[in-house]
Amino acid sequence: MMIIDTLKKQYTDGIDTINRASFSHPWSKALIEQDIDNPNCFYAVGVEENEVIGYAGMTVIAGEANITNIATHPDRRREGIGKKLLSQLIDICKENDFLLITLEVRRSNIAAVALYESLGFKIEGERKKYYSDNGEDALIMTMSF
Ligand SMILES: CC(C)(COP(=O)(O)OP(=O)(O)OC[C@H]1O[C@@H](n2cnc3c(N)ncnc32)[C@H](O)[C@@H]1OP(=O)(O)O)[C@@H](O)C(=O)NCCC(=O)NCCS
């Protein structure tokens, strides 16, 4: 059974493995480690039998949360893990009276857009050629409370 924990040093290797398997330009492990002691960063780490199976992270500035990363281990997708982790971040926003959650997502990332829409995020706008690696547009999605 999956438990959801906050970001801890012991999880950074597992997160790094998932990032490398999930992103063409993954965050470095050092970047993730920096978030451990950052009071503006909130993570939901999905752990099963001491293994990280997914995680989601957000940074909050002036009551506005930005989802910085979310990924599920490639072997464990479509089991509802991403949805549970993102729901946990949404709950944290509600508990802390944060006003808004925003995120950017590649237009071609059908899975992520569907996940966000399934939780009530709306497409608010787009940033043309936002991703420098392939010139892809970003969709800006938001949820306000
Ligand atoms: C996006 C991602 C995090 C989704 O994680 P997941 O754990 O597989 O998602 P869930 O199982 O919780 O899916 C929840 C809902 O999202 C939608 N969804 C998820 N994956 C989908 C896919 N491949 N195609 C269509 N819809 C999808 C569905 O509505 C799904 O509900 P359902 O399974 O009941 O139909 C995962 O695909 C991933 O890690 N991708 C690579 C990293 C990435 O692109 N992250 C986002 C950008 S930062």
Predicted local distance difference test score (pLDDT) of residue 145: 87
If you take atom 35 of ligand 1, which residue's CA is the nearest one? 78
Residues pairing with 4 in the sheet: 46
pLDDT band at 122 (very low <50, low <70, confident <90, very high): very high
pLDDT digits (tens, 9 = 90+) for 18-44: 999 999 999 999 999 999 999 999 999
Alpha-carbon distance 56 to 139, whole Å? 18
Active site residues: 104, 116
Alpha-carbon distance 89 to 91, whole Å? 5
Range of the domain at 125: 3-144
Atom of ligand 1 nearest to the CA of 112: 1
The stretch 1-28 carries a mean pLDDT of 97
Ligand 1 contacts (CB < 6 A) are 22, 54, 69-72, 77-83, 105, 109-112, 114-115, 118
If you take atom 23 of ligand 1, which residue's CA is the nearest one? 111
If you take atom 15 of ligand 1, which residue's CA is the nearest one? 115
Count of structural domains, the chain? 1
Tell me, what CATH number does 57's domain have?
A: 3.40.630.30
Give the SS3 label for residue 91.
Answer: helix
